[in-house]
Each structure stands twice: as C-alpha cells, then as structure tokens.
Amino acid sequence: MDAAEFESVWLPLAGRFYRVAYYILESAGDAEDAVQDLYSRLWKLRGKLGSIVDPASYGVTIVRNICLDRLRSASKTRVVHSSEGIMDMNADPHVDIDREITGKEDLRLLRSCMARLPDKQRKILEMRVFENMSYQEIARRENLQEANIRVQVSNARKNLRRMMDNEKD
C-alpha cells in the first residue's frame, strides 16, 4: 500500500478512531495520542493492510486495544507510585480514587445493561454509538428503513437508561 492509498483509506477514519479513544480514555490529549499511536502502527503494517476487508472495524479494534493497554499501564503505574509513597501532597487522593471507582462501576453497569438489551437494539446502538455510523448506513447494512433504525436507537437508549436507573436504585 502506497502513501496515497493509505491516506485515502485510513485518514478519513481518524474522527471515528478519535471518538472511540475519547470514549474509553475520557481525555482529549490521551485520545489524540492513542490515535497517533494507531496511525504509527498502521503505517508500519502498510504492506499488509491491502487485505483488510473492513478498515474501520480493524482500526477501531486496534485503537480500543491501545486504549485498554494505556489504562492498564496507568493503573499499574499509579499502584507503584502510591506503594512507594510518591504522591502529590496538595491533591486529595480519595477524590481521584472515588471518581475512578464510580467510573468503573458505571462502565460495568453500562456493559451489563447493554448485554441485556434485545440483540437487534444492542447491535444497532453499537453501530450508531461506537462505530459512528449514520442512520442511513445502518439501514442499508441491516436492510431496514431509516425511520425504523431511529426508533430502534431511541428505544435502545430508553431501555438502557431505564435498566441503569433500576440497577442504581
């Protein structure tokens, strides 16, 4: 794959990759770094990328793995630093820990609730949110009317919100 082909296939997907990274890392700078790392890896693999059937899914998978690796290494670093007693004395460590625990619990709850959605709703919601597909693209892929897709996404969000509210109570 030459540079022009790489640019035409992979660069238009940068926004999608960034949104996935931002969703996972919750930081604009970290998300940009993850996407940069993704493109660095893709460029090194450019000779093998011609056989990729769905570049968007392939890239999303890689950027997701990059983000998860970064989260894992960040949590290991935090544990090492706190066990060595290297802490910012001005910061309240309990606030960060509470926020991190709450965020992890919310994410775990979200995943649990998404798994309980009807298969069709879950699949369509994932395409809309995680793959950032338009309603028209989803309708084409699922062979449904665009209005039906909008209703499915709306119902999935309502069901998800209801399940999460019930779980929190």
Tokens of 156: 């999935």
pLDDT at 79 over 80: no
Cβ atoms within 10 Å, residue 135 = 19
**Which CATH number characterizes residue 103's domain?**
1.10.10.10
Domain count for the chain? 2
Least confident of 13-22, 53-62, 79-88, 121-130: 79-88
Q: 62 lies in which domain range?
A: 1-87
Backbone angles phi, psi at 53, to 5 degrees: -80, -45
DSSP H helical ranges for 26-143: 28-44, 55-84, 93-116, 119-129, 135-142
Do residues 33 and 98 both lie within one domain?
A: no
Least confident of 37-41, 47-51, 80-84, 143-147: 80-84
Rounded average pLDDT over 91-111: 62
Do residues 81 and 129 both lie within one domain?
A: no
pLDDT in tens, 142-167: 999 999 999 998 998 898 888 888 87
Do residues 77 and 99 both lie within one domain?
A: no
**Which CATH number characterizes residue 17's domain?**
1.10.1740.10
Q: What is the DSSP letter of 87?
A: -
Do residues 71 and 100 both lie within one domain?
A: no
User: Whole-angstrom Cα distance, residue 135 to residue 125?
Assistant: 10
